[in-house]
Structure 1
Amino acid sequence: MSHASTAPTALLDVRDLVVRYGPVTAVDGVSFTVAAGETVGLYGPSGCGKSSTAHAVLRLRRPQSGRIWFDGTELTSLSERRLRPLRPRLQPVFQDPYGSLSPRRRIRDQLAEPLRVHGLRAPAAVPGRVAELLGLVGLEPSCGDRFPHELSGGQCQRAGIARALACEPRLIVLDEPVSALDPSLRAGIVNLLLDLQQDLGLGYLFICHDPVLVRHFCDRVLTMRGGRVSTGGWQSG
């Protein structure tokens, strides 16, 4: 990959990323791209730097060095105020479906919140959009009236995906989105994500430690070890 200073054409372009926690370097010079409609996997064992990379891409953690371009805009130097308009287009889905949702709020209210916060719908249109989001992820309308603990793990993860979709993103960072689920539920979530990508043209950065799953789900896979991307990744097909 060229590391010239010219603006990238990929939806996401990560160049020479470094993330440290005190004296520990969790991510050491990682570079990759994700195109619109493409799924790129970051594969490797626990502690290899996958989630730290994801958090830096989402700007949940500011990297020590390197550059991150999203949709033509460099994120690494932006203040939180200037990041705010971009955040709806770059959304996460986390590993723990229950921990990523508020236990004290009904699902419908959690789906409505990003619509109101980012002004994506007029107030009168919010309930209709919430119903649409529930349908997109295969949840019955009655699920909107429930709290997270009243849903199964698979239903709760679908609600988390719906919340990410509420902002009409271009890229979703999927951080081990099925590893906390019962094996019988994983295929349904994976198939849902594939269908959504096909219908909406989403780009995915997929964090995973399961080699079988990344081979099935990803267009390209980068293998991480010790904070670095090795040359031993693979490409599907």
Structure 2
Amino acid sequence: MSPLLEVRELVVCYGDFTAVDGVSFTLDAGETLALNGPSGCGKSSTAMAVLQLRRPDTGEVRFEGRELTSLTERELRPLRPRMQPVFQDPYGSLSPRHRIRDAVAEPLKVQGRWTATDGPAQVAELLDRVGLDPSYGDRHPHELSGGQCQRAGIARALALEPRLLVLDEPVSALDPSVRAGVLNLLTDLQDDLGLGYLFICHDQAVVRHFADRVLEMRNGRISCA
């Protein structure tokens, strides 16, 4: 069986600085692969290149067998719902002006999957799935805790039924007691949905607990597995 995600000799540069230098790895469906390393080692640049939010300078990114780096934005559009990010800052990833229900509904509307008949029920189901009472949909992000906001961000990521979640430091901004609950939620979702996780993290204790495999990054390169 082909891997869900295959990265080959990925290179990402910012001017004369090489942030990602020849990184290669594979990720299977239902697996959690962690990129672990200190700040500035290239983890987040790798994640952005995988999602094609930052186009790599060279290398290949294959998702479900399809090479992404040569595709135009128009060709990428139908594939993007299947690869979704969850970012580090639970408040910064949600607009302070929008209610939670609108944030979760937004990807459905952008992809033309929203209907006035079924949409509100879909949002309520997504919130319930991540452990939030659907009534929280009426609140704004500042009315929720950090953990609740991160759960709302995960609900939004799940709205388009992805196969891959790119988790960029998803619990580093949370208190330890809240962190465990979010990690347990992600584990349950993976078991239920067969999701692949690319897990970006600098905390070795979290990585050892959560990941199936760990790749250590230093200076833009994979140093060991």
TM-score, normalising length from structure 1? 0.93
Aligned length: 225
Q: Partner residue of 2:107?
A: 114
Tell me the residue number matched to 2:221.
Answer: 228
CA deviations over 1:34-71 (Å, ceiling 9, x no partner): 10000000000000000000000011101000000011
Equivalent residues of 1:116, 1:123 under 8 A apart: no
Deviates most, 117-126 or 168-177: 117-126
Is 1:77 matched up with 2:88?
no
Q: Which residue of 2 aligns with 1:4?
A: none
Q: What RMSD over aligned residues (CA atoms) do the two structures have, in Å? A: 1.0
Q: Quick one: which of 126, 133, 145 aligns to 1:140?
A: 133
Contact preservation (8 Å) 1:48, 1:225? yes
User: Is the CA contact (8 Å cut-off) linking 1:11 and 1:36 kept in structure 2?
Assistant: yes
Q: What residue number does 1:60 align with?
A: 53
The offset of 1:123, in angstroms, is 3.4
From 169, 175, 178, give the equivalent of 1:176: 169
Residues in 1 aligned to 2:159 and 2:118: alpha-carbon distance in whole angstroms: 13
Pairing of 1:185-200 with structure 2 (within 5 A):
185-200=178-193
Which one-letter code corresponds to 1:77 in the other structure?
Answer: S
Equivalent-residue separation in structure 2 for 1:171 and 1:165 (angstroms) = 10
Q: Which of 133, 157, 167 is the aligned partner of 2:150?
A: 157
TM-superposition CA deviations, 1:72-98 (whole Å, max 9, x none) = 111101111110000000000000000
SS at match of 2:126: helix
1:29 is aligned to 2:17 = no
1:121 CA drift (Å): 4.4
Cα displacement (A) at 1:120: 2.9
Which whole-Å CA distance do the structure 2 matches of 1:119 and 1:12 have between them? 26
CA distance in 2, matches of 1:137, 1:17: 33
SS in structure 2 of the partner of residue 230 of structure 1: strand
- Within 2, Cα distance between the matches of 1:14 and 1:169? 18
1:217 pairs, out of 206, 210, 223, with 210
- Is 1:16–1:66's contact at 8 Å kept on the other side of the alignment? yes
Structure-2-length-normalised TM-score: 0.98
1:16 aligns with 2:9: yes
Displacement of 1:195 in angstroms is 0.3
Gaps of 5+ in 1: 1-7
SS in 2 for 1:62: coil
Q: Is the 8 A contact 2:105 2:114 kept in 1?
A: no
Gaps of 5+ in 2: none
C-alpha distance in 2 between matches for 1:106 and 1:80:
29
